[in-house]
Amino acid sequence: MTESPGAGFIRATPGWLPLYAGFLITGVATVLLGPLLPDLAREWRLPVEELRALFVVQFLASAVGSFLSSYRLGLSLRLGYLLIAGGLVALSLAGWPLALAPMATVGFGLGLAIPATNLRVAHSQPQRRGAALSSLNMVWGAGAVACPLLFAVRPPGMSSDAVLLVLAAASGLILLSLRAVPAGGEVTVQAASAPGGRQGGVLPGLVVIAAIMFLYVGIENSVGGWLVSLADQFQAERSATSLWIGSGFWAALLASRAAAPLVLRRVSEPVLYGAGVVLAGGGLLGLLLSGSQAGLAVAAVAAGAGLAPLFPLTISFLAELTAATRSRNTGWVFALAGAGGAVLPWLTGRLAGGAAGLAAGFVAPIGGLVLLALLFGLLRRLPGPAQPETA
């Protein structure tokens, strides 16, 4: 690999700030359903588990957008933020089940904007790709942390619809500011064709990376999407405690990504990846078995800290593989990631019930994490640039 994903951070120049600011908004919008679902369930007088279809339409639409995003990065960015803004406005006005359409619109916009931003930044920094992606995804994590806090600290009497409108306005501002992004940010692959023998290993590597991303995005959104509702089951009246627990998950994910550069000075990438899987597994088991909000808070922090390094490492493997082979058609890889965000949260809600309540559904992300660990072991054994360094 050219560089460890945690080996330092990139400072965005003023021309690139709209991409980073936009990624903050995508972090908020991606995890929006987590803190929003309990409000919607009360407003529409439905059991919260019945609203799992919102996850499905958001992330299936995101998968479609991701598939299309890699063909025209500039267009994908502009259209993505336009759809996010419009979808949020429509969501603030819609009831059930009409809300499925604007939620799909938001998802489609995220599917266009997120991969396009990742690839634009990754290919603009070929010598410091890992650091650039770490910095970028830390900004996304900051948005994910801020999302539950927006609902927790809103003024008394302020509805969730008002929060949606504020986010829509912010997305509109990002859309207007994208003109300042340097034109050189479009994908331009400078690397020569891969040496003999690597071309044949590209497709297996892409398939394994796509499967890992499917599982990772599904796991992350299962936890982030259902955690606030799970914490709500331990209190008779809604309080800000559940929202703070949800924010704690994302804060741990953000802090762990910030600490990754220091950790990688002492351990190799595979060791960090394996440690992350183990820590995340412990956290997910805690969410399944915990009987109190305090236990949930500890488990949520462990899960977030463990999951944190997995996504930047995987994206870096993907970017290096495609740069070395002049392959730009990675939309289907991101599309599978979006599909994971639809399938696993839906399955989590579907498995919920019985005496364990919503906690029983967390069997789904636990199983997904086991499969992810097995696939990462396979990825290390594949030839070619997708194989992470062992030292």
The predicted pLDDT at position 86 comes to 96
Residue 137 and residue 19 in contact, taking contact as beta carbons nearer than 8 Å? no
* Cβ-proximal residues to 182 (8 Å cutoff; 6+ apart), any chain: 15, 16
Cβ atoms of 104 and 283 within 8 Å: the answer is no
CA–CA separation, 171 vs 26, rounded Å? 9
Amino acid at site 3: E
CA distance between the termini of the chain = 11
Could you tell me if 149 and 243 are in contact, meaning their C-beta atoms sit under 8 angstroms apart? yes
Domain definitions of the chain by residue range = 14-179+200-381
Tell me what the pLDDT averaged over the chain comes to: 81
Residue whose token pair is 């488990």: 299
Q: What pLDDT is stored for residue 239 in this prediction?
A: 65
Torsion over CA of 169, 172, 173 and 176, rounded to 10 degrees? -160
- CATH homologous superfamily, domain 14-179+200-381: MFS general substrate transporter like domains (1.20.1250.20)
Higher-confidence residue of 332 and 231: namely: 231
Pick from 1-10, 102-111, 250-259, 374-383 the range whose average pLDDT is largest. 102-111
Angle between helices 33-44 and 202-232 in degrees, nearest 10: 50
Q: How confident is the model at residue 10 (pLDDT cuts 50, 70, 90)?
A: very low
**What's the rounded Cα separation, in Å, for the pair 83 and 108?**
7
- The pLDDT of residue 106: 96
